[in-house]
């Protein structure tokens, strides 16, 4: 061990002993790891930084500290001639934050060159969506920002209940950043219904297969206000009778029998061969006609004036009902849509 390294280790150990409780936390290990790196003690830096990254649960580093640990540990492994380990660490860093760019004022070209080589082959996207979006007016939109580590093809779609096919928002190349705007509507222009949906951003390889996906849960809520009640149909008390009761048919029967009687007493001038049978044949026909008139007279007869009056009432009711239906459709169509976005979740596939 050189004198400089021994001095560095002694300083770090003294600091660790002075604040032993703090040094045992991931945040404390990160601090000592960065100090060891700056002191060119890469082995000690690697020990502290790996310990800091190993914390989990409540002891896990925050994302910002985790990125610092990854970049310093990657730089440490570059100087330890462990390029594969450095490449894997930089890849983790870009998965955590595809927008990350290494600070060339802090790290020398040996480190930045390795980082750039990894970045240019990393197919990852950061997705930024506002926590809450209200779509009420024609120009309101959900704003989705995409940030890519490097150029690659992506597909952005929204899927949800009752959809046989996802609603594609974008399908193409993404080099650096892209802003997507969505009005919460289907291709036919209608707003989506309330429910749980999912925004999915897929990063694809050259052959088209998905290598990484970021999903963001979207909760859609339609704030439909009160709608007008449908008018009731016209009351029966307002409707006029449309048919009058039929007669008894007595008049027809009396007329038929009277005709039969008249024929029976016709004077003798109804003469000639077969005259008697002819008279009774005519009388019988009149009697049958009178009997046939009975059911016809019993059938109810329409009252045109009342039918017309009732049609006026029905048409007025239908017009009012159609007007209410149209007004309610406008209320539903213009109801605000609230979109609540959850945190992004990353899924990597081989």
Is the same domain home to 103 and 16?
Answer: yes
- Can you give the pLDDT at residue 326? 83
Considering the domain architecture, whether residues 8 and 111 belong to the same structural domain is answered as yes
Domain boundary among 119, 152, 172: 119
Among the ranges 74-83, 163-172, 322-331, which has the highest mean pLDDT value?
74-83
| 317 Cβ contact list (under 8 Å, min separation 6) | 231, 233, 234
| Residue 344 and residue 204 share a domain | yes
Both 19 and 71 in a single domain? yes
The stretch 270-288 carries a mean pLDDT of: 51
Q: Which pLDDT tens digit goes with each residue over 111-129? A: 999 999 999 999 999 999 9
* Mean per-residue pLDDT, 272-286: 51
Asked whether residue 229 is assigned to any structural domain, the reply reads: no
pLDDT given at position 269: 43
Instruction: Name which of 32-36, 72-76, 133-137, 151-155 the model is least confident about.
Output: 133-137
Instruction: Please state the rounded mean pLDDT for residues 265-275.
Output: 49
pLDDT digit string (tens) for 189-221? 888 888 999 999 999 998 889 999 999 999 999
Q: Are 158 and 281 in a shared domain?
A: no
- Give pLDDT tens digits for 218-257: 999 987 766 788 789 988 888 888 888 765 545 545 555 5
Whether residues 64 and 135 share a domain: the answer is no
* pLDDT recorded at residue 187: 84
Question: Which pLDDT value is given to residue 270?
Answer: 46
pTM of the model: 0.63
* Mean pLDDT calculated for residue range 173-177: 93
Confidence label for 66 from pLDDT (cuts 50, 70 and 90)? very high
Structure confidence at residue 58 (pLDDT): 86
Q: Please determine, for residue 265, whether its predicted confidence score (pLDDT) is greater than 60.
A: no
Q: Note the pLDDT tens digit of each residue in 296-309.
A: 556 788 888 888 88
Q: What is the pLDDT of residue 310?
A: 85
> Do the domain assignments include residue 327?
yes
Least confident of 87-91, 152-156, 242-246, 267-271: 267-271
Average pLDDT over residues 333-341: 84
Domain range for 300:
236-333
- Across the range 36-42, mean pLDDT stands at 96
Total domains, the chain: 3
Residue 211 is assigned to a structural domain of this protein: yes
Percent of the chain predicted with pLDDT > 90: 50
User: Residue 230: inside a domain, yes or no?
Assistant: no
Question: Mean pLDDT score of the chain, rounded to an integer?
Answer: 82
216 and 289, same domain (yes or no): no
**Residue 138 pLDDT class (50, 70, 90 cuts):** confident
pLDDT of 4 reads: 52
Q: Does residue 64 lie in a domain region?
A: yes
**C-beta contacts of 298-305 below 8 A and 24+ residues apart:** 298/246, 298/247, 298/248, 298/249, 299/246, 300/243, 300/244, 300/245, 300/246, 301/243, 301/244, 301/246, 302/242, 302/243, 303/240, 303/241, 303/242, 303/243, 303/244
Residues 138 and 198 in one domain: yes
Give the CATH number for residue 60. 1.25.40
């Amino acid at each position: 061990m050189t004198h400089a390294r021994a001095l560095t280790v002694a300083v770090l150990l003294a600091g660790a002993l002075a604040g032993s409780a703090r040094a045992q936390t991931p945040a404390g290990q990160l601090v000592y790891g960065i100090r060891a790196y700056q002191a060119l003690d890469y082995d000690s830096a690697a020990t502290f930084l790996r310990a800091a990254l190993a914390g989990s649960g409540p002891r896990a580093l925050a994302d910002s500290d985790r990125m610092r640990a990854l970049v310093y540990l990657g730089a440490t492994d570059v100087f330890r001639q462990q390029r594969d380990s450095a490449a894997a660490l930089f890849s983790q860093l870009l998965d955590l934050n595809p927008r990350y760019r290494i600070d060339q004022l802090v790290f020398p070209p040996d480190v930045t060159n390795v980082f750039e080589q990894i970045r240019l082959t990393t197919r990852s996207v950061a997705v930024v969506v506002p926590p809450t979006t209200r779509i009420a007016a024609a120009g309101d939109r959900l704003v989705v920002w995409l940030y890519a580590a490097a150029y690659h093809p992506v597909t952005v779609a929204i899927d949800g209940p009752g959809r046989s096919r996802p609603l594609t928002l974008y399908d193409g190349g993404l080099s650096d950043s892209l802003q997507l705007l969505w009005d919460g509507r289907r291709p036919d222009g209608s707003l989506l219904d309330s429910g749980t949906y999912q925004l999915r951003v897929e990063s694809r390889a050259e052959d088209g297969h998905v290598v990484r996906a970021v999903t963001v849960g979207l909760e859609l809520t339609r704030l439909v206000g009160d709608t007008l009640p449908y008018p009731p149909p016209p009351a029966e008390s307002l409707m006029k009778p449309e048919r009058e009761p039929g007669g008894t048919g007595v008049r027809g029967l009396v007329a038929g029998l009277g005709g039969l009687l008249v024929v029976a007493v016709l004077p003798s001038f109804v003469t000639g061969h077969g005259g008697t049978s002819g008279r009774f044949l005519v009388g019988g026909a009149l009697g049958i006609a009178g009997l046939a008139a009975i059911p016809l007279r019993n059938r109810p007869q329409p009252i045109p004036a009342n039918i017309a009056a009732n049609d006026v009432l029905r048409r007025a009711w239908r017009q009012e009902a159609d007007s209410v239906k149209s007004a309610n459709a406008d209320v539903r169509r213009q109801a605000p849509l609230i979109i609540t976005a959850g945190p992004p979740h990353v899924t990597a596939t081989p």
